[in-house]
Amino acid sequence: MAFESLAERLQGTMDRMKGRGKVNEDDVKDMMREVRLALLEADVNFKVVKQFVKDVRERAVGQEVMESLTPGQQVIKVVNEELTKLMGGEQVKINTASRPPTVVMMVGLQGAGKTTTTGKLALHLRKKHNRKPLMAAADIYRPAAIDQLETLGKQLDMPVFSMGNQVNPVEIATKAVEQAKEDNHDYVIVDTAGRLHVDDNLMDELDQIKAAVNPDEVLLVVDAMTGQDAVNVAETFHERLGITGIVMTKLDGDTRGGAAISVKAVTGQPIKFAGMGEKTDALEPFHPERMASRILGMGDMLTLIEKAQSSVDEEKAKELERKMRTNELTFDDFLEQLSQVKSMGPLDEVLKMMPGANKMKGMKNLQVDDKQIAHIEAIVRSMTKAERDDPSLLNASRKRRIAKGSGRNIQEVNRLIKQFEDMKKMMKQMSGMQKGKKKGGGMKLPFM
């Protein structure tokens, strides 16, 4: 999980502040010492840490905290706001040309994930914004770079402009923009070459491509797991090339998160996207306020809702709600919901977006094995249609047949059936509470 180590340290420090009726300067000093250590251990740039601690301390010992009715909560609010500010303040969207096509130039070192990110960005633009992007293969040096992009294009059903590896990259980029105009593409994403380290030849070539196609966006792709090296690379590229935004890859695998916190403060350029996995749709717009909320254990309900909205069929959701109210839920409905939840991403990551999930019993080290979900699906699919519609038919002999057919044991079958029945009872109770609420009584459920 991104920022896991930092989140644990900061949340522990924040928890100690919550119960304070009064906060004095010594309390703030002790807290900021812990915050400083947590940030340094997370590989945040030391100059960034120094300024952050200074800004928080000034606000935390000011009147807005000292005269607050709940000083402990107010201090946490200050840390959250300053952390958000540090990472950019608010989401910065990708630039768009006044007249299409919008030209996006992808730059960075080898191994950061430029080519893969090019495909992810193209899919994001088509899927989320209904755009028609063209990918251009301008990396003629890395073996199989062109083949990789063409393979991605076939996988995503996305057009790729290529002229082979014997043509100058400047000409490839120029011709790609011309082709995009002819074919009415509204975005051209140019996958440029990288090197193992920043050198003059690389920068000269990128300068030439930039001068030739006049990109609306120069996105630097950096690997979050390289920590401060990623920040140094970003600083160098910005000084030499003038980047307009950053894509932070492998953020899901970086438990420290120092690069993501430092890079905006050091370069002045925003993180626009974050790579959160290997799948082609695992690219998310970067929201500083949501990331700060995750780090401090406040959850990320907006991203969770967006994932749900993009993954859940609205008509099926309405039908499911009706079945919940009338207690008609079947195992087929259960399978359908399981499939839609899986499409939102790894279940453990989805659950961790819930506020306070890190403090729930068993959630801290939760790892949901895909095999467990496959076992559940196998058990349900081994039932007949009548059994899935009416679990009361499941006697001992039917359960033995289902266990044998799914390759699981009878205990697992019994456990799943019991969990399903318990879930139906709980939903029936929730439905009753909802009716009571409408009549003026009962409990108000936030999700009903």
Q: According to the annotation, is 252 in a ligand binding site?
A: yes
In this structure, what DSSP letter does residue 105 have?
Answer: E
d(CA 17, CA 293): 17
- Amino acid in the structure at residue 107: V
Q: Which residues of 215-229 are buried (b: 16+ CB within 10 A; e: fewer)?
A: bbbbbbbbbbbbbbe
Q: According to the annotation, is 86 in a ligand binding site?
A: no
Please, which residues bridge with residue 246 across strands? 220, 271
Q: According to the annotation, is 192 in a ligand binding site?
A: yes
- Listing from the earlier edge strand, what are the strands of the sheet with 217-223? 160-161, 133-138, 187-192, 102-107, 217-223, 245-249, 271-275, 283-285
Q: According to the annotation, is 174 in a ligand binding site?
A: no
Q: According to the annotation, is 97 in a ligand binding site?
A: no
SS3 384: coil
Q: According to the annotation, is 191 in a ligand binding site?
A: yes
Q: According to the annotation, is 250 in a ligand binding site?
A: yes
Which residue is it, tokens 């994932």? Answer: 307
Question: How far is CA 117 from its chain centroid?
Answer: 14
Q: State the helix-helix crossing angle for 228-241 and 258-267, rounded to 10 degrees.
A: 30
d(CA 215, CA 210): 6
Q: According to the annotation, is 193 in a ligand binding site?
A: yes
Q: According to the annotation, is 108 in a ligand binding site?
A: yes
Contacts 24+ apart (CB under 8 A), 407-412: 407/378, 408/375, 408/378, 408/379, 412/375, 412/379
Contact yes or no for 188/177 (Cβ under 8 A):
yes
Q: According to the annotation, is 369 in a ligand binding site?
A: no
What residue numbers does the annotated binding site for GTP cover? 108-115, 191-195, 249-252
What residue numbers does the annotated binding site cover? 108-115, 191-195, 249-252
